[in-house]
Amino acid sequence: MYQRGIINIIYIILGLIIIAILIGYFNSI
């Protein structure tokens, strides 16, 4: 249970980072 929760948190953080990078990339164009 705890391992699944940690994995979900990691995926959420990675997703937010990717979204932030994409937003910054499109804003720089």
Q: DSSP character for 29? A: -
* pLDDT digits 0-9 by tens, 10-22: 999 999 999 999 9
Q: Where are the alpha helices (DSSP H) in 1-29?
A: 2-28
Number of domains in the chain: 1
Give the structural domain span for 23.
1-29
Q: Which residue, 7, 5, 27, 4, is CA-closest to 15?
A: 7
pLDDT of residue 11: 97
Model's pTM, two decimal places?
0.64
pLDDT at 29 over 80: no
